[in-house]
Chains A and B, each alone.
Chain A
Amino acid sequence: MSTFTSTKQEKRFAIRGSWWINILFVAFALVVAYYLFNLIIYGKCAGGCVVGILSQSLVYATPIAFAAMTGLLCERSGIVNIGIEGQMLMASMVGYAVNVYAFQALQHIMDPTAAGNISRWMALLCGVLATVLLGLLLAVVSIKYKVDQIIGGTVINILSAGVTGYFYRQFLASDVPPGPGTFPVVAIPGLSQIPVIGPILFDQKPLTYTMLVLVFFVFYMLFYTPWGLRVRSVGEHPRAADTLGVNVNKTRYISVVLASVVAGLGGVWFTLEAVDTFSPNMTNGLGFIGLAAMIFGKWNPLGALAGALIFGLGSSVTSILAIYRPDIPSQIPQMLPYVLTIIVLTGVVGRAIPPAAENTPYEKQ
């Protein structure tokens, strides 16, 4: 019985083709975009403004990258998850509710700072737990009951919209006790003092760091460990994997659950890191944009991160544009990320081939 080991052949596929040309191309595009942008806002963005934009785009990229990692882990194992949007919405609602009410309860038995810390971590945990439950629903429905996975994802989206809206109206719309607020910014000592890179990379909130670490961790796990090879083989050719002794459905269950943990992190980002309130439909399509980032990255974590960063950059540029050019209707820049998504999906950056066994339930012989 042969065991799975990652070979040299595999490693070459991890970063596809001539990657340095891609990097050169992206750098060139960024420079061009920067000059165009300055042309539009009459050259008012330089120095600190640029650092601000880049730092902000990393912030905006965080939920998108989390969503992309979720989609990636699911799809690499052969499960299409379009319910990420709903999962994140659920996590953001649960996170907010737990954060506020746990703080209210804990306030009386300890000092507010400690209570805030504990309630935030509890909120994070509960948000993740909620998405894992939704993920299990998707997994059971699509693996055990062999329902079309797109329908399964749609169920999750509608269900989450309903559940979050319901709890919002019943418990969170009014008379909400004051909460402990979002995670504070954690400047990494030493590294955050580096001139340009410091404020961009090392002066962020915890989930943003988590995201950056996670992307590389997922990359390593998928392409350099036997587990990753199993996941990918299950997504590409489940029968072959099964023949070699991989438990296809178990692998898929595990992937979906892990992916849901990631989606939970992306969801609680909205209420534990971005803003201190919950509003219905606050995820606003970022889950779907995450899927687009994943496709942009050709189902590769590093590429997906690049895609997420581009979307993040688009969002932060939009907010700067609103400041310097109020005469441009805000809807036009607001449309840009969505237009960009469609352009990305049409394969302008090269045709992306999804895992072969996507959306097909596995039937053991």
Chain B
Amino acid sequence: MSNPSPALPNPANRSNRLQHLVDLIGIPVLAVITAFIFGGIVIWITSGSLLSVQQAYVGMVRGAFLKERALSESLVATIPYIFLGLAVAVGFKSGMFNIGVEGQFYLGSLAGAFVGQAFGQSTSLPAIILMPLSILAGGLTGAIWAGIPGLLKAKTGAHEVITTIMMNYIAYRTVELVISGPLKDKVSSAVQTPAAAQAAWIWSLSSIPARLKDPLNALGVALYMAIVFFFIGRWIIGRTNLKNRFQKPGQRRFASLGFALAVGALFFFLFPPFTRVAWPFQDPYDRLHIGLVLAVSASVLVWWLLWKTTIGFELRSVGANANAARYAGVNITRNMVVAMAISGSLAGIAGTVEVLGVTACHCMPVLFSTGYGFDAIAIALIAKNDPFGILAAAFLFGAMRNGADMMELSSGVSKYVISMIQAMALLFVAAPAIIRSIYRFRLRRRDEESETLEPRLKG
């Protein structure tokens, strides 16, 4: 090489940062594009004409973005993907392969529907309590269901990949058993649980103006906003010149609390009238619900948990190198269970949000989830387990899922083709060398060196 690379690259260098960003998202983006090309080739070969490839992909784009309510339907499908992708990512980051998110999702939705119905009927709790309670029930159920494989791995060494898959099958049967037996809706002819009380429903965006007429609901929204803005306030203070003004941590906390209360009050008094006057989401058939807000909050929360807390640091250190973590005094056993419980709770919450937000009956039908869980593994891996990358990957998958029906309808190409595309994308992200050899782009010298050096150091 004629130009020797610097011994220590300067991370603050602007072009280096850009390079870093390209490295970070370049491979996944190219992987997805390549996977779509691959899918096109498969359609081309099996149907024998390039026209149907075009029809299929145009149909998919139309179904995902262009037809009526398409975008919000894509977002509806994105919501569980975000939660489940986060669930898988938390597991991966902690060195646990939680393949069982599907089962946790399933049982979580059952628990959410049950609490929403049972507590709603008997106590008539207000939404501000019942909705969080249902979500909590779903999360707790998912956490327990995922915690069992974690505990088994920690105590007996049973590998979580197989146990979680077995737990999936047990979960399906359990749900079937419970829905067709003790929890069956006696009134309806369909096999499903009774509908949850209205207070437990996850609000659809179009129902918000009506919901906010109840001051308790408005208080709930204000409270949520206050919490969000408390953390935003702290972040702003830490990032700007304001941190010189508030020297002591107590002052900072006080300042952001004041900021949060102000925002909360603003929302409490001004948001309900605003929604009555001008609310962009009026369409009552639009199924988009506030689960989207919860999902985005969850990804911020997971990021904060993994990268800004001691628990997260321990989880990540176990995931990166369990032996090193053990020598450093981390309790591996406890971390396995904690990781699985967090992961499972996210999956359970996904189920509750789905069952109380999307299903037409606001109940748990016997055939409910259709393979969100396995897609979630691909989502987490394509996003490289990054909570914000998961938002993008989940949207991609949600849009594909939503567009698939339209594709099948308009071109006759089976919607299973998207599973193929997703598997290929996952393969290319997992083995970036394939992508590099297809597109023949060179690594920078430093990476090349480290790629050949690293295993030698390990061995």
The answer to whether A157 and B156 have CB atoms under 8 Å apart is: no
Q: Does A345 contact B (CB under 8 A)?
A: yes
Kindly list chain A residues whose C-beta atoms are within 8 Å of the C-beta of B417: 162, 166
Given the contacts A157-B374, A363-B455, A363-B459, A166 and B420 also touching, CB distance less than 8 Å? yes
Given A82-B161, A154-B377: A161 in contact with B156 (beta carbons within 8 A): no
- Chain B residues lying within 8 Å of A329, measured Cβ to Cβ, are 177, 180-181
Determine the distance from Cα of A275 to Cα of B433 in the docked complex, in whole angstroms. 42
Q: Which of A162, A170, A339, A347 has the most C-beta atoms of chain B within 10 angstroms of its own C-beta?
A: A162
Q: Identify whether the interface residues of B are mostly helix, strand, loop, or mixed.
A: helix
Chain B: interface size category: 35 or more
A351 sits at the interface (CB 8 A): yes
A162:B419 contact, CB within 8 angstroms: yes
Q: Which residues of B contact A341 (CB under 8 A)?
A: 162-163, 166
A159 within 8 A of B: yes
Q: Which residues of A contact B434 (CB under 8 A)?
A: 145
Partner of A141 from B156, B415, B416, B427 at Cβ < 8 Å: B427
Instruction: Pick the most buried of A150, A154, A239, A351: most chain B CB atoms within 10 A of its CB.
Output: A154
When A150-B161, A158-B374, A161-B374 are in contact, do A141 and B431 touch as well, CB less than 8 Å? yes
Instruction: Tell me if A162 and B166 are in contact (CB < 8 A).
Output: no
Binds B, one of A9-17, A174-182, A285-293, A298-306: A285-293
Q: A227 at interface (Cβ–Cβ under 8 A)?
A: no
Q: Cβ of B378 < 8 Å from any Cβ of A? A: yes
CB of B377 within 8 A of CB of A162, answer no
Q: Which of B162, B416, B433 contacts A145 (CB 8 A)?
A: B433
Interface contact A145-B169, CB-CB below 8 Å: no
Query: Interface 1/0s, chain A 132-165, versus B by CB < 8 A?
Result: 0000000001000111101110110111011111
Q: Which residue of A lies closest to B152 (CB)?
A: A346
B165 contacts across to A, CB distance below 8 A: 285, 288
Within 8 A of A (CB), among B148-167: 152, 155-159, 161-163, 165-167
Q: Are B176 and A162 in contact (CB under 8 A)?
A: no
Task: Check A351 against B430 for contact (C-beta < 8 Å).
Answer: no
Contact of B456 among A159, A345, A347, A363 (CB under 8 A): A363
- Decide if A345 touches B97 in the complex (CB within 8 Å): no
Q: Which of A231-277 contact B (CB under 8 A)?
A: 239
The CA-CA distance from A159 to B177 in the complex, in Å, is 31
Take A82-B161, A165-B414 as given contacts and tell me if A338 and B419 are in contact as well, using a CB distance cutoff of 8 Å. no
Are B423 and A147 interface neighbours, CB within 8 A? no
Separation in Å of the A165 CB from the closest CB of chain B?
A: 3
Please report the C-alpha to C-alpha distance between residue A179 and residue B189 in the assembled complex, in whole angstroms.
Answer: 38
Distance between Cα atoms of A334 and B172 in the complex (Å): 10
Instruction: Report yes or no: B430 in contact with A141, Cβ–Cβ below 8 A.
Output: yes
The smallest beta-carbon distance between A329 and chain B, in angstroms, is: 5
Tell me if A345 and B377 are in contact (CB < 8 A). Answer: no
Residues of A within 8 A of B420 (CB): 159, 162-163, 166
Contacts of B381 in A (CB 8 A): 151
Q: Chain A 211-246 against B: per-residue CB contact (8 Å), 1 yes, 0 no?
A: 000000000000000000000000000010000000
Query: B241 on the interface (CB 8 Å rule)?
Result: no
**Could you say which residues of chain A place their CB within 8 Å of the CB of B374?**
157-158, 161
- A365 an interface residue at 8 Å Cβ cutoff? yes
**Which of B163, B416, B421, B431 touches A345 (beta carbons < 8 Å)?**
B163
Contacts of A155 in B (CB 8 A): 423, 426-427, 430
Give the complex CA separation of A329 and B174 in angstroms.
11
Q: Evaluate whether A145 and B431 lie within 8 angstroms (CB atoms) in the complex, with A161-B419, A288-B162, A346-B156 already known.
A: yes
Tell me the bound Cα distance from A313 to B192 in angstroms. Answer: 33
Residues of A within 8 A of B17 (CB): none
Taking a contact as CB atoms under 8 Å apart, the answer to whether B459 and A345 are in contact is no
Residue of chain A at shortest CB distance from B429: A151
Interface status of B170 (Cβ within 8 A of chain A): yes
B177 touches A332 (CB 8 A): yes
Contact check, A162 vs B416: say whether CB atoms are below 8 A apart.
yes
- Cβ-based interface call for B334 (8 A): no
Q: Is the CB of A291 within 8 A of B162?
A: yes
Kindly supply a per-residue 1/0 record for chain A positions 316-352, scoring 1 wherever the CB is within 8 Å of any chain B CB and 0 otherwise.
0000000000000101101100110110011100010
How near does chain A come to B240, taking the closest CB pair, in angstroms? 41
| A272 and B247 alpha carbons, distance in the complex (Å) | 76
Q: Does A44 contact B (CB under 8 A)?
A: no
Q: Do B174 and A285 touch (CB < 8 A)?
A: no
Taking CB atoms, residues of chain A closer than 8 Å to B173 are 331-332, 334-335, 338
Alpha-carbon distance A363/B422, docked complex (angstroms): 30
* Cβ–Cβ contact A338 & B169, under 8 A: yes
B136 within 8 A of A: no
Q: How far is the CA of A193 from the CA of B26 in the complex (A)?
A: 67
Q: Nearest Cβ in chain A — how far from B45, in angstroms?
A: 11
Distance of A167 Cα from B374 Cα, bound (Å): 20
CB neighbours (8 Å) of A347 from chain B are: 156-158
Bound-complex Cα distance A158 to B455 (A): 29
A351 and B157 contact, CB distance less than 8 A: yes
Inter-chain CA distance A352–B174, complex, in Å, is 29
Closest to A145 in B: B431
Asked whether A151 lies within 8 Å of B161 as measured between CB atoms, the reply is no
Which of B161, B170, B174, B423 is close to A159, meaning CB atoms less than 8 Å apart? B423
Q: Does B424 contact A (CB under 8 A)?
A: yes
Q: Indicate if the CB atoms of B431 and A331 lie closer than 8 Å.
A: no
Whether the Cβ atoms of B177 and A331 lie closer than 8 Å is yes
Write out, one digit per residue, whether chain B residues 402-439 have a CB within 8 A of any chain A CB (1) or not (0). Answer: 00000000000111111111111011001101100000
B246 to chain A, nearest CB (A): 46
Counting CB contacts under 8 A, is B46 at the interface? Answer: yes
**Closest beta carbon of chain A to B81's beta carbon, Å:** 14
Residues from chain A with Cβ under 8 Å of B416 in the complex: 161-166, 168-169
Nearest first, the 10 A-B pairs at minimum CB distance are: A162-B419, A165-B416, A169-B414, A159-B423, A345-B158, A162-B420, A166-B416, A145-B431, A158-B423, A331-B177
> Can you show 9 pairs from A to B with CB atoms below 8 A apart?
A155-B423, A158-B426, A159-B419, A159-B423, A163-B420, A166-B420, A342-B158, A345-B152, A363-B459
List 6 extra interface pairs beyond A148-B430, A154-B99, A170-B413, CB under 8 A: A155-B423, A158-B375, A164-B416, A165-B419, A166-B414, A339-B170
Q: Which residues of B contact A (CB under 8 A)?
A: 42, 46, 97, 99, 152, 155-159, 161-163, 165-167, 169-170, 173-174, 176-177, 180-181, 371, 374-375, 377-378, 381, 413-424, 426-427, 430-431, 433-434, 455-456, 458-459
